[in-house]
Chains A and B, each alone.
Chain A
């Protein structure tokens, strides 16, 4: 057969990689039965790598809207939703926020799904004095984006230390390894929270393994290195679906130590993708299906009925966000951005379903969500159950 010419080969290698086609967002408005409505923008990643979070979140929002509207709405005003898919893409999120910001009929936005999207898009909302309820933007610096950004989902730095402490105490952990997606601000924050807590607790960290979330599928070499150092637990701060791959390969590698995951590991899609390899996985959350409050039991039952799958912590936080809007606007006489902002600033915290959440000061008049009472969950047969 013919052999190549060297100069041709050089030219070929200069050809740029294929450009991926961009994904478009979709719009879905929830019906509200007419009359005066409170319109909220909902910007979540229901496609792309973030779909593992965004679909659950959208379900949580829709269920809360349905339940609130069925109960008479906000003092008789029904909630309507302008839903947009940001596809886990910060440019897409930015474009959606740019469209929503001048639309004064939208009083607030729930979303976007990722911290990277929030950092890109939230400044547009701040400029338009449009309140944003951040439900899963766990990175450091999100409340500092500006006055109108309200983090209602407890960020990982406020959640993971409690989880790590509980696991260390429960299993008498003295050594651990940490893996994290180094190209994602959310996972990086999770890693920092795990790492600091473990060090503070006197746990010896045998390995720190960064990886690129979008490029790595073969974690076996790193997992074998970890196994060789015999840690007693593995803490992983993943970005999205690669958590399922890590769980499977950890099992194939013969790692039989407890694996403790960040919020990414609470997604139903991830648990399904990991299959039986997820059994034993430990995660922290601000919500558990076992919460016996009437509202939570309603949420759990109706979620199962509506979506034919169990509710998740991600869905619960999104559900809570709609109730936060309801409470913030309940004493307002007008449904405006200013009314919502004022109501949010006056709330000391909330407690609808799951753990009680406080809005604590982080300086400069800004606040962040915190909880003193995280819930520990363990994966079992595709579900998250309270850790026994």
Chain B
């Protein structure tokens, strides 16, 4: 069972990592992240089936496409509002939230036109069939690789944000973009880079999801849109290491729930845990508590 949790956590984690990164830097919740994830999964399946591309080529293009789509989302949904410093009557978060929701719906329509409504699959020839045996358990190789990749990415991203000049600039822009600009930091460039990384992570999550479950349709985005927020809130919104924790907790609840709990109660448990956490520790497990009056 532990290996099943690890396998699922890898997919959830990569998805959540991109979502939380954007929140941490741009301070917006990107509601089009799930649509980017679904688009990338379908694109990879389309390239390997209809175009008969080898998996590695399709994967490369998919990751690049994820980055491009995410940048486009930023330019269309976030940048115009950021440029004007638009603040609605409900605060500065609602504008980007609604504009990304609109883009998510448009992207869903694009998926339906480009890839059709029918579920798609990877062809047999590209699906890795190898299984890794660890002790008495076994895990599909693709799950082991995606989880290992996720852990490496979390460590690399955390190190890059904390130890490099680039990370310092990203954090400075996240904290106060106007002040950062006075020190010569190109804030817009950091925003675009962050969105690109987030899109690439959505694409990697989509590839891992597709290769593991081998089914996707435009509706696949609905599997992760609401759950995605539970993933990032549990770990702490804006915390990259927190995505690892959030993904593991939710994967553990889902896998053990599917095994031991009555049918349908695992989602109840996921959101029950989230609700409790919001009451007890609203900033999430790894989030930082904000002092009264701060920001």
Q: Which residues in A have some Cβ–Cβ distance to B below 8 Å?
A: 1-6, 8-13, 15, 17-21, 23, 47-49, 51-52, 87, 182, 209-212, 214-215, 217-218, 220-222, 224-225, 241-242, 244-245, 248, 252, 254, 269, 272-273, 275-276
> Which of the 9-residue segments B53-61, B110-118, B199-207 touches chain A?
B110-118
In the complex, what distance in Å separates the CA atom of A212 from the CA atom of B223?
Answer: 12
Q: Which residues of A contact B278 (CB under 8 A)?
A: 6, 9-10, 13
User: How would residues 213 to 239 of chain B score, 1 for a CB under 8 Å from any chain A CB and 0 otherwise?
Assistant: 111011101110110010001001111
Is B258 at the interface (CB under 8 A from chain A)? yes
Q: Which residues of B contact A182 (CB under 8 A)?
A: 263
- Shortest B175–chain A CB gap in Å is 7
Write the chain B residue with the least CB distance to A182. Answer: B263
- Shortest B161–chain A CB gap in Å is 7
Given contacts A10-B278, A18-B105, A51-B118, whether A2 and B174 have CB atoms under 8 Å apart is yes
7 A-B pairs whose Cβ atoms sit less than 8 Å apart in the complex: A1-B239, A9-B282, A48-B117, A212-B264, A218-B258, A245-B213, A276-B124
- The answer to whether B97 and A15 touch across the interface, beta carbons within 8 angstroms, is yes
Q: Of A209, A218, A222, A242, which is in contact with the most chain B CB atoms at under 10 Å from its CB?
A: A218
- The answer to whether A224 and B4 touch across the interface, beta carbons within 8 angstroms, is yes
User: How would residues 131 to 169 of chain B score, 1 for a CB under 8 Å from any chain A CB and 0 otherwise?
Assistant: 100000010100000000000000000000100000000
**When A and B form their complex, which 8 residue pairs have the shortest distance between CB atoms, in order from nearest?**
A6-B282, A275-B124, A1-B24, A221-B258, A4-B237, A217-B213, A3-B288, A273-B121
User: How would residues 15 to 33 of chain B score, 1 for a CB under 8 Å from any chain A CB and 0 otherwise?
Assistant: 0000000011101010100
- The answer to whether A18 and B175 touch across the interface, beta carbons within 8 angstroms, is no
Given contacts A3-B238, A244-B215, A275-B127, whether A18 and B108 have CB atoms under 8 Å apart is yes
Is B67 at the interface (CB under 8 A from chain A)? no
Is B109 at the interface (CB under 8 A from chain A)? yes
Write the chain A residue with the least CB distance to B236. Answer: A3
- The answer to whether B8 and A3 touch across the interface, beta carbons within 8 angstroms, is no
Q: Which residues of A contact B82 (CB under 8 A)?
A: none
- The answer to whether A254 and B8 touch across the interface, beta carbons within 8 angstroms, is no
Given contacts A2-B295, A51-B118, whether A12 and B223 have CB atoms under 8 Å apart is no
- The answer to whether A3 and B289 touch across the interface, beta carbons within 8 angstroms, is yes
- The answer to whether B283 and A6 touch across the interface, beta carbons within 8 angstroms, is yes
Q: Which residues of A contact B290 (CB under 8 A)?
A: 3, 5
Write the chain B residue with the least CB distance to A85. Answer: B117
- Shortest A11–chain B CB gap in Å is 8
Write the chain A residue with the least CB distance to B230. Answer: A13
